[in-house]
Chains A and B, each alone.
Chain A
Amino acid sequence: MNAIKIVLGLTAALTLGSCTMMNKPTTYTFKHKAIEADPAAAGVASVSLGNAGMSTTTLTLSGLTPGKAYISHYHAFGPASSNDPCASNGPVTVGFPNFTADAMGMATTVLSTDMAKIAGDAGAYINVHYASDPSTIPICAPIKMVKG
C-alpha cells in the first residue's frame, strides 16, 4: 500500500513543473511585469506536495505597496503565448486567499489545493493582482514554461 502511495506521489510531482520532488518544495521566482505598479515587488512561490494528492503553495512577497490589498491566482496556460506563460492570458484556475501587504510592503499567503487542479497546463503561472483592479499585475511567477 505504501509503495502505491509513493508511486502516485512521484507521478503527481512530475506533473507539476519538472523538478518538484515529493515533500521537497520547489521554488519559483516572481518576475516583475513591465508596468509602473510596485516597481520593487518581488518574491517566490514555494510549492510542496503532501499526502492524498494535495499541494501547498506559499507565496512570500516583498516590495508591495504597504497596507494595500492584493489577490493572487494560479492560471492555466492561455492562448496568447506558447512559451511565455505570464503573457498567455490564461483563465484563473485556483485563487489564493486574499491578503494585504504589511507596513513594510511584505506579505505571505498560503494555498492548499488538490494537486490535480494545478497540474500541467492548468497551473502554468501565478499572478499577483491589485484587489482593487485585478488588471494591474505587478508580478508573475512562471511555473510551466512550454504549453502542452
Chain B
Amino acid sequence: MTVAPNRHTINRHTVNRRGTLAPRLGLSLTLLGAALAGSGQAAPAQTYSVQTYVFKHGELSTTDPIGAGFIKVSLLSPEKSESTLYVRGLTPNTAYMAHYHALGPKSGALFRTPCESNGPITLGFPAFKSDARGRAIVKLSADPATIAGGAGAYINIHRADDPGDIPLCAVVLKDGATTTPAASKGADDTMADMPGMASTAENTVTIIDNAFRFKSGGETLKIKVGDTVKWTYDGKVTHDINSLSAPSLKSPKLRRGDTYSYTFNKPGTFGFYCSFHEGMGGTIIVTAR
C-alpha cells in the first residue's frame, strides 16, 4: 500500500477587522491585506480553505462495487495545494492510479456531471496500491492554478491494469460537485475506520493562552500510526504550531475558532511548539498499530 506522508489540514473562518466574514473560496486564497493597504486599517489574516469532495461509484463499472471515499483539497499557500485521496472498498493489494481531469467535450445537456464529460488528464496522483483491506491514502501537491476551475473538474480512480474501467469519480468543479465542508458531518464520519480519520475527542489538543492542553491531561499524547490530531484554538492571542521532528507539521497563525489537523503516518516521538511563546509546547508519541 502506498501510504501518504503525514498530512495536515486547516479549517478557518476568518473575521476580518472590518467585521465581515471572509467566505470559503475553494481553490483560492485571498490576501485581503493588499486591498486594505493604505486604508488606515490593519490588514486582516490570510484566508485558507479546505474542501472535501465525495467519490461516487461509476454507473458503468462493475469493479469494486463497494468502493467509496473522498478527497480533501487543502490550500496551503497561493502556490501550493494538497489533494489527499481517502478510499476504501478497493480490490485488496491491487495497483491503482488516479488523475485530475479537465472538463471534457461532452458538455452541457450531454452529461449530468463532469465525471461523464470525458475530459483530458490534467494531473496524475502518484501511482498507488490498495492495502490488504482495500484501503488507500494518496497525496498530491500541486500549484492551485493547475487544477483550478475547469482544469480540475473531476478526479477518476482507475485500476492500473485497466484505465478504461473507472470505478470511482469525484466531481470537483463548482456547481457540478457534491461537496462536504470539512468541518461538518459527512465523509469524515463514514471513513472513521480508515487510517488518518481517527480523530477522536482524546486526540484533540486545545490551545489556550499560552499552553497546549490535551484532553487526556499532561503534556504528552499517545496515538497510533495513522491517527489524526486536531488542535482547536480557544485562546485570545495568536499562536501557531510547529515541530522540529515533523517539519510538515506547520500551521499558519491560528486565531480563535481556527482548527488545525495533522495525521501522523510514522511512529516516533514528535515535539511541537508555538514559535511565539516561550515554553509553549507538547509531545505526541506515535506507536505502530
Give A contacts to B, CB under 8 Å. 36, 73, 75-76, 78-80, 89-92, 94-95, 129, 132-135
Instruction: For A90, list chain B residues within 8 Å (CB).
Output: 242, 244, 275
Q: Is the CB of A79 within 8 A of B247?
A: yes
Distance between Cα atoms of A79 and B243 in the complex (Å): 7
B residues near A134, Cβ cutoff 8 Å: 237-238, 276-277
B253 on interface, CB distance cutoff 8 Å? yes
Interface check B1, CB cutoff 8 A: no
Which residues of chain A are within 8 angstroms of B273 by Cβ–Cβ distance? 91-92
Say yes or no: is B42 at the interface (Cβ < 8 Å to chain A). yes
Cα distance, A129 to B276, chains bound together (Å): 8
Are B238 and A89 in contact, CB atoms less than 8 angstroms apart? no
Task: Tell me which residues from 238 to 258 in chain B have a Cβ below 8 Å from any Cβ of chain A.
Answer: 238-240, 242-244, 247, 250, 253
Is B217 among interface residues, defined by CB-CB distance under 8 A?
Answer: no
> Quick one: which of B238, B244, B276 contacts A79, CB cutoff 8 A?
B244
Taking CB as reference atom, which chain B residue is nearest A76? B244
User: Chain B residues near A132 (CB, 8 Å)?
Assistant: 237
| Partner pick for A92 among B42, B239, B278, CB 8 A cutoff | B278
Complex CA–CA separation, A57 to B243 (angstroms): 27
Given contacts A80-B250, A133-B238, 20 further A-B contacts (CB under 8 A): A36-B42, A36-B43, A73-B278, A76-B244, A78-B242, A78-B275, A79-B244, A89-B240, A89-B250, A89-B275, A90-B242, A90-B244, A91-B244, A91-B275, A92-B279, A92-B280, A95-B278, A132-B237, A135-B238, A135-B253
B242 to A135, Cβ gap below 8 A?
no
- Distance of B209 from chain A, by nearest CB (Å): 10
Q: How many whole Å from A5's CB to the nearest CB in chain B?
A: 31
Interface flag for B281 (CB, 8 Å): yes
**Contact indicator A78/B240 (Cβ below 8 Å):** no
Are the CB atoms of A75 and B43 closer together than 8 Å? no
Docked-complex contact A80 and B242, CB < 8 angstroms = yes
**Complexed CA–CA distance, A25 and B273 (Å):** 31
Residues from chain B with a CB closer than 8 A to the CB of A91 are 242, 244, 273, 275, 281
Q: Smallest CB-CB separation from A136: which chain B residue?
A: B238
Shortest CB-to-CB span from A48 to chain B, Å, is 23
- What are 15 of the A-B contact pairs (CB < 8 Å)? A76-B244, A78-B244, A79-B250, A89-B240, A89-B250, A91-B244, A92-B273, A92-B275, A94-B278, A95-B278, A129-B276, A133-B237, A134-B237, A134-B276, A135-B237
A90 to B275, CA, bound (A): 6
Residues of chain A with a CB closer than 8 A to B247's CB: 79-80
Task: List the B side residues contacting A75 at CB < 8 Å.
Answer: 275
Q: Counting chain B CB atoms within 10 Å of each CB, which of A36, A73, A135 scores highest?
A: A135
Q: A95 to chain B: which residues have CB within 8 Å?
A: 278
Q: How far is the CB of B240 from chain A (nearest CB, A)?
A: 7
A78 vs B251: C-alpha distance in the bound complex, in angstroms? 13
